[in-house]
Amino acid sequence: MLRPSLRANDFLVATSPAMCAVVEQVERYADGDAPVLICGEHGTGRELVARVLHQRGPRGGGRFVAVRPSFEGCDGAQVEGDDACERARRALRAAAGGTLLVKDVSDLSAPSQKTLKRAIRDRRLESAAEVHDVQVVATADIDVDHAVEAKIVSRDFYDLFAARRIEVPPLRDRTADLPTLTERWIKHYGAEIGRGKQTVSARAHERLALYPWPGNVAELKSIARRLVVRITRSKIEAGDVDEVLPNVATRVPLEDLAFEEMVKSKLAGLLARIDGYPVHDLYDKVLARVERPLFDLVLAHTGGNQLKAAEILGLNRNTLRKKLAELGMEQNKKRVGREDRALDGD
């Protein structure tokens, strides 16, 4: 959620075609009149879109009141024992002249749906006992249609919003917006903690684009905050991103991979982790890490007999002894020194 003190317009990024379509709908529905339904996965920025809708319309100077389905959180004294319908009426009065946002409308109780439906319909009737001068905006997840079919949301209540329905795309479907979103949130959190200007490298942006973002923009904000807190350098590199991004890639068991594919898979992880850091001896590091387990297993197979091990390996015995000494494996005792964390990473 965006704090009310921030300007929502500054954080609505619309480079991708999917978000451009959202902005077009916002401009079309920002007349401060009929109800609007904003649908999408959690974390996509539905409340942000609602705030932009409010700010760009004639009600922008009025109040923006956001409430949960229970209508708790609206202004006014909470009365012990009052029901959701009374809280709904109080929320409508609190948002008079502005916008009332009801979050997760599929969770509204049936009586609350009736209260809102009556308020929306009666606002045009001079004979109504209480006329609420407010635009009602609601958010819903992508299963709202199923909620209507299951009669969790009444059909006539849903129909009040259906003509003005905005679909906010998941972040994975608007990756063209990702670089700008990332830079803006990095700047925002950097300013909060007094950090100097930080930039994101091209490779780091590529890494972010490959991630599927199951938590959408909300997850991106969390990742941006963690990067700002952890990285003190002026440029955020791909390796920094790999340190904070969850590993959600589908894994294939190593035993199901051909040997070369298995090695390639491990090396791909290594290259991802060292990107952006100075490395000058990668060849030697990789060979050492391949030779050590190979020699260890062959020596175990031969019972520690270096002559037999050298024969199996196709090496001269003296060459094998020299390599064992270099690797700290004399006497078939594996001595592991400081290890490269990047190579050992999953």
pLDDT of res. 284: 78
Residue 304 has pLDDT above 70, yes or no: yes
What's the DSSP call for residue 254?
A: G
133 and 50, same structural domain?
A: yes
What does the pLDDT average to over 41-66?
A: 93
pLDDT at position 259 over 90:
no
pLDDT at 50: 95
CATH number at residue 188: 1.10.8.60
pLDDT interval class at 228 (50, 70, 90): very high
Instruction: Give the pLDDT score at 139.
Output: 95
Question: Does 164 score more than 90 pLDDT?
Answer: yes
In a domain, 3, yes or no: no
| CATH label of the domain that carries residue 278 | 1.10.10.60
Q: Which of 244, 272, 304 is the last residue of a domain?
A: 244
Task: Indicate which CATH number applies to the domain containing 54.
Answer: 3.40.50.300
Q: Is residue 91 part of a domain?
A: yes
Poorest-confidence range of 177-181, 197-201, 210-214, 252-256? Answer: 252-256
Number of domains comprising the chain? 3
Of 185 and 251, the structure prediction assigns the larger pLDDT to: 185
Crossing angle, helix 17-29 and helix 46-55, to 10 degrees? 40
The model carries a pTM of 0.66
Residue 1 maps to a domain: no
Measured CA to CA in angstroms, residue 241 lies from 208, 244, 273, 345 at distances of 7, 5, 9, 14
Read off the tokens for 3: 């704090």
Whether 47 and 163 share a structural domain: yes
Is residue 146 included in any domain, yes or no?
yes
Residue 187 amino acid letter: K
Say if residue 1's pLDDT is above 70.
no
Structure tokens at 184: 């803006």
Q: Decide which of 244, 276, 291 is a domain's last residue.
A: 244
- Please tell me the predicted confidence (pLDDT) of residue 69: 86
User: What pLDDT is attached to residue 64?
Assistant: 94
Same domain (yes/no): 75, 165: yes
Higher pLDDT, 82 or 148: 148
Q: How big is the CA angle at 126 (ends 72 and 161), to the nearest 5 degrees?
A: 50
Range of the domain at 52: 8-169
Check whether residue 44 and residue 148 sit in a common domain.
yes
Mean pLDDT for 287-312 is 86
CA distance 260 to 258: 6
Q: Is residue 321 pLDDT above 60, yes or no?
A: yes
